[in-house]
Amino acid sequence: MKLLVIGSGGREHALAWKLAQSEQVKRVYAAPGNGGTEAEGKCENLRIPGTIASEEGQEALYAFARQTGIALTLVGPEAPLTAGIVDRFRSGGLAIIGPDKNAARLEGSKVFSKSFMEKYGVRTAQSKSFSDYAQALAYAAEHFKQTDHPLVIKADGLAGGKGVVIAEQYAEAAVTLRSFMQEGSLGNAGKAVVLEAFLSGQEVSVLAAVSVVPGKPGTILPFMAARDHKRRFEGGQGPNTGGMGAIAPVPDFSGAAAEDFRGSILEPSLRGMEQEGMDYRGFIFFGLMVQDTLCSLLEYNVRLGDPETQALVPLMDFDLAKLCDAILTGRLRDFPLQWKAGAVCAPVAVAAGYPGAYQTGYPISLDQEAFSQTGALLFIAGAEKKENRENGENGENKSSLYTAGGRVLGVSAWGTDPEDAWERAYRGMRAISFEGMAFRTDIGPPRP
Ligand code: AMP
Ligand code: GLY
């Protein structure tokens, strides 16, 4: 069976690696993929015209899948999903994993997803949505008159991680609202906003497989919990990033919290999807804020998380291609979702300056012997393979990896426990270097 993975990050490398382990899988195409997917056994990169979210790109992906006899397509990022790639593939009879365009609004529109949560009683922060600037401003002013808690401002549409601002004071809220709603700093994504109460606690990511089709009882099968570390610097300081590293499982996500998640978030979400008549056969990501054992939903993402996926794949004791098949054929309820014992620590190495401006094009060096002693996996995010200028010792063409993005790579280390995983992950990191390489040293459970 031939598979297609859409996307180009560390998540897609991890997915391609895991899918390639399946005996049923002969070939995995990654579109556009990266320098890691290209080098993986059974895998090949596919260049397409346009982007994966453009009509031109999606037509090219569809045509490729049809001509090549792709049995199953898996979509990594949200943009192609909200653009309707699932509808395009299914209308042509091709199997694809993801929500259709309508269901993808759970991530694509914060206004829609908050009203969905409220309608179906999914526990979440109290909020109000606005498309009128003056009314939003007046609400913010009233908020800061009544309390000194921060106000969370969320742009309605996809904003590549720049759409959420936690305003500590009215002045900051006013500047943000003007920038989003009046000046169009996020384009159409900021024309409407959700103003939300600030919640404190610990963030947890629960990824899950979903099989919901209109007119039938659906299933959501949650994965082991994971935790991203979103701020750039140690101790949760500095600017927000795409994710500086993840761990799985989450030691402080207790049995009682997991039970609360099921009753207060998972079950009402499933009821909502069924009652809205959604077609959702893919993965969902519940972004939780957990206070003691009480879970609130910060957001849905209609896809797997990045870097959470890199932390989860080494623990998957099941065939991911078979899980995808169970999602599509309505057999998810009985799927044996088994997890390996132990823990994974998966820190991410980024370019100097990230998440601000950064340089690319630096060669990446890897001490293969030291790295392989850790047993860790190397998942490439923003790096590409290029021919070296000099040839190798015996005149052969040498190619190596060069940085090509902000988040460059991740090391996913399995260990018998979180400490062992942490130790292996950072030994793995120290076997890698590139100009300006930076990483957080505290990806793991709280350390003394
Ligand atoms: P979102 O895209 O909704 O997940 O928001 C991005 C990040 O902003 C989250 O991962 C949280 O760190 C933070 N955040 C979002 N909503 C809230 C909230 N209501 N209270 C506190 N932090 C929040
Ligand atoms: N790790 C956060 C995300 O995938 O959006």
Q: Residue 93 to residues 46, 270, 329, 338: CA-CA distances in angstroms?
A: 21, 26, 14, 31
Cβ of 151 below 6 Å from ligand 1: no
> In the prediction, which pLDDT does 254 show?
87
How many angstroms is it from 287 CA to the middle of ligand 1?
Answer: 8
CA distance 327 to 218: 10
> In the prediction, which pLDDT does 447 show?
63
How many angstroms is it from 164 CA to the middle of ligand 1?
Answer: 7
Using DSSP's 3-state secondary structure scheme, residue 111 falls into helix
* Ligand of minimum distance to the alpha carbon of 156: 1
First to last CA, the chain: 48
Using DSSP's 3-state secondary structure scheme, residue 298 falls into strand
- Alpha helices by DSSP H, listed for 316-366, are 320-328
Tell whether omega for the bond before 214 is within 30 degrees of 0, i.e. cis.
Answer: no
* Rounded average pLDDT per 10-residue block, the chain, 448 residues: 98 98 97 97 96 97 98 98 98 98 98 98 98 98 97 96 94 98 97 98 97 97 97 94 96 95 98 98 98 97 98 98 97 97 98 97 96 98 83 60 97 97 98 97 80
Who's near 141: CB < 8 A, 6+ residues apart? 170
Block residue for tokens 């062992």: 420
- Type and span of the H or E element at 116: helix 110-119
- Type and span of the H or E element at 104: none
Nearest CA to ligand 2 atom 4: 305
Q: Check: CB of residue 246 under 8 Å from CB of residue 229.
A: yes
Cβ of 57 below 6 Å from ligand 2: no
DSSP 414-435: EESSHHHHHHHHHHHHTTEE-T
Q: Check: CB of residue 4 under 8 Å from CB of residue 19.
A: no
Three-state secondary structure of 5-33: EEECCHHHHHHHHHHHCCCCCCEEEEEEC
CA distance 312 to 293: 23
CA distance 433 to 364: 6
How many angstroms is it from 298 CA to the middle of ligand 1?
Answer: 6
Domain regions of the chain by residue span: 2-98, 132-191, 200-334, 343-433
Q: In CATH, what number does 343-433 get?
A: 3.90.600.10
* Residue 217: Cβ within 10 Å count: 11
> In the prediction, which pLDDT does 395 show?
53
Query: Matching CATH topology for 132-191 and 343-433?
Result: no
Tell whether omega for the bond before 32 is within 30 degrees of 0, i.e. cis.
Answer: yes
What class is the 200-334 domain? Answer: alpha beta
> In the prediction, which pLDDT does 394 show?
58
Cβ of 242 below 6 Å from ligand 2: no
Nearest CA to ligand 1 atom 13: 164
Q: What is the pTM of this model?
A: 0.96
Cβ of 287 below 6 Å from ligand 1: yes
Domain 2-98 annotated CATH 3.40.50.20? yes
> In the prediction, which pLDDT does 393 show?
60
Q: Check: CB of residue 445 under 8 Å from CB of residue 247.
A: yes
Tokens representing 402 are 């060069």
Who's near 252: CB < 8 A, 6+ residues apart? 202, 445, 446
User: Phi then psi for 222, rounded to 5 degrees?
Assistant: -75, 145
> In the prediction, which pLDDT does 160 show?
86
Nearest CA to ligand 1 atom 5: 164
CA distance 409 to 65: 28
Cβ of 231 below 6 Å from ligand 1: no
Write down the architecture of domain 132-191 according to CATH: 2-Layer Sandwich (3.30)
Torsion sign over Cα 136, 297, 209, 236:
positive
CA distance 205 to 222: 10
Using DSSP's 3-state secondary structure scheme, residue 236 falls into helix
> In the prediction, which pLDDT does 204 show?
97
Nearest CA to ligand 2 atom 3: 305
> In the prediction, which pLDDT does 29 show?
98
Q: At what angle do helices 133-146 and 170-177 cross, to 10 degrees?
A: 170
